[in-house]
Structure 1
Amino acid sequence: MIALDEWRKAAHGFDCAGHHIAYRAPDQPDPQKPWLLLIHGFPTSSWDWSAMWLALEAHFNLAALDMLGFGLSDKPAAIRYSLLNQADLQEALLEHLGVGEAHLLVHDYGNSVGQELLARHNDRTLSFSLKSLVFLNGGLFPEQHRARPIQKLGLTPLGPLLGMMLTRDKLRATFDQIFGPETKASDEEIDGHWALMSENKGQRVFHKLLQYIPERKVMRSRWVGALQDTAVPLRLINGGADPVSGAHLYHYYLEQVPNADAVLFDDIGHYPQTEAPDLVLSAFFDFHRKLRTVSP
């Protein structure tokens, strides 16, 4: 992974709806390369993509932001966090960068943001042209999402206490449970994730971010329908050892999505992009070679 200090130094920022949003994108995009928008998951940040960044950068102009409440971006305590607003941020970033069409690579919480962008594309209300969409592990179907105990606690009246209770060691314990049996996160990764989660008093809003779980249920018809009725090329790359959205999600995806294109890695957990970046890159580039986005 790219060291966190280096990642911080490369961060840019823009204002959206009165909030400062941190992002990473090229200062001088290559006009010969397509754009790839990467959307991170909960509770981490765009730094999740750093293990694959350089390999992807060889073929794409990359753009990735820290969503509101995450990473280096603002974390206001007095707002209601919504996946719909996070989708607005993605559109605002591409508008800020002057991007008219892009491919997507999304993970976890970002899957739902990607589904909303896909639904907007299908409705012809999206501000850019969506060329393709690759999902990693995440709650594409709310009925298949197996929330962790700490997430369930955050949705109770005790939720505001969750940020006070969360520690670096508890984050390590949670990651150990959702990673594959042979792919534990390094201490450097845990330290980096914890630093970014704690940035800008992030513990205050941790429970607020968890509203994505009931929001997925409310939006199920729209977001699952977007998967089932689209001409946009889709692929799922899934770590099967993930207890949250692993092999059970992969098999359900095959049942629910017409002509489903999906790849399963049995021994990888919830963060395939950091647990096995080479495997994910291979499956991702295979998909894009078929689309002729990248050369053979």
Structure 2
Amino acid sequence: MTLNREYIEFCNVKVYCEYLINNKPPLLLIHGFASSTYTFNLLIPLLKKHFSIVAIDLPGFGRSEKSASFVYSLHNYAKIVACCIEHFKFKHVTIVGHSMGGQVALFTAKMIPEKINKLVLLASSGYLKRPNKSLIYCSYLPFFRSFVKRKARRKEVKEYLLDVFYEKSSITADHVEEFGRPLQEDGFYISLIRLLRHREGDLSSDELKKINTPTLLIWGEEDRVVSVKIGHKLVNDLPNAKLITYEKTGHLISEERPTEIYNHIVSHALTQNEK
């Protein structure tokens, strides 16, 4: 069973999709900030035994269009996901979101709750505020793009990866190549700046309390990007959530614990929904 790979236009933006559609329950995978479908490269071969799979690169990231007109807000990312669900004619879908992709999944569940069967949030971002006004103002200055590019390229890609892996020996040349790819594209920096301008704050505690979708939270206890404390807060705010944590595991949990996560996704997604 080979994945299809193609660009599909959602909301006037060309979105890179990897998918395998069969007669099995649908699963939609959403990566995090500055990442891509590669986040799930170890999970997809396992998950496709049990699910129809769709993985997308969010606009501005991976192989998707780096549009200079798209409004890079969490709300609009959720609209992209909703369009994707409509395109593939899914009546109900389970969403797996990593890091910022977890927040996009929550926005989607708020937007179209009737379409979302379950959520699996892997080290999801949460409770981030909108960037401060002075930084947004600076983003309109002529030199700002060059500043962002220099700052991003100041460190080697492997140095960034050291922050997201607990087990440093797990970092491979493929990781360096895939996570370093966007740093070579000028469009990536335009997208970053527009995301800085447009990204609203994460859902508030009051908004989270209204999301009744059954949700599984999975975290690495040594996550240095999104602390496991966020997971504990989310599990208290989401009415129908459960939290699982792993010792000696960092932020890129899909790479460090693929088999365990696969088993949890299967168990969570395929149990009968109470709705």
- For the aligned pair, the TM-score class normalised by the smaller chain equals 0.7 to 0.9
Partner of 1:117: 108
**Matches for 1:138-217 after TM superposition, within 5 Å:** 138-142=124-128, 157=139, 159-160=144-145, 161-167=147-153, 169-182=155-168, 184-199=170-185, 201-211=187-197, 215-217=200-202
Matched, 1:276 2:254: no
Return the match for 1:19 from 13, 38, 41: 13
* Gap runs ≥5 in structure 2: none
> How far did residue 181 of structure 1 move?
4.2
> How far did residue 44 of structure 1 move?
0.7
Aligned residue identity for 1:11 = R
* TM-score (normalizing by structure 1): 0.79
Contact 1:43 1:197 in 2 (8 A): no
Aligned residues: 266
Partner of 2:51: 60
* Gap runs ≥5 in structure 1: 1-5, 148-152
Return the structure number with greater helix share: 1
Specify whether residues 67 and 210 from structure 1 end up closer, same or farther in structure 2 by C-alpha distance, changes over 3 A only: same
Contact 2:215 2:240 in 1 (8 A): no
* TM-score (normalizing by structure 2): 0.84
Give distance in 2, aligned partners of 1:94 and 1:277. Answer: 25
Give distance in 1, aligned partners of 2:28 and 2:218. Answer: 16
Give distance in 1, aligned partners of 2:264 and 2:29. Answer: 16
The root-mean-square deviation of aligned C-alpha atoms, in Å, is 3.0
Specify whether residues 203 and 102 from structure 1 end up closer, same or farther in structure 2 by C-alpha distance, changes over 3 A only: same
Specify whether residues 196 and 253 from structure 1 end up closer, same or farther in structure 2 by C-alpha distance, changes over 3 A only: same
Specify whether residues 120 and 175 from structure 1 end up closer, same or farther in structure 2 by C-alpha distance, changes over 3 A only: same
SS at match of 1:142: coil
Specify whether residues 284 and 266 from structure 1 end up closer, same or farther in structure 2 by C-alpha distance, changes over 3 A only: same
SS at match of 1:140: coil
Specify whether residues 156 and 252 from structure 1 end up closer, same or farther in structure 2 by C-alpha distance, changes over 3 A only: farther
Matched, 1:107 2:101: no
> How far did residue 287 of structure 1 move?
2.2
Specify whether residues 225 and 291 from structure 1 end up closer, same or farther in structure 2 by C-alpha distance, changes over 3 A only: farther
Where in structure 1 do 4 or more consecutive aligned residues deviate above 4 Å? 153-159, 181-184
Aligned residue identity for 2:78 = A
SS at match of 2:68: coil
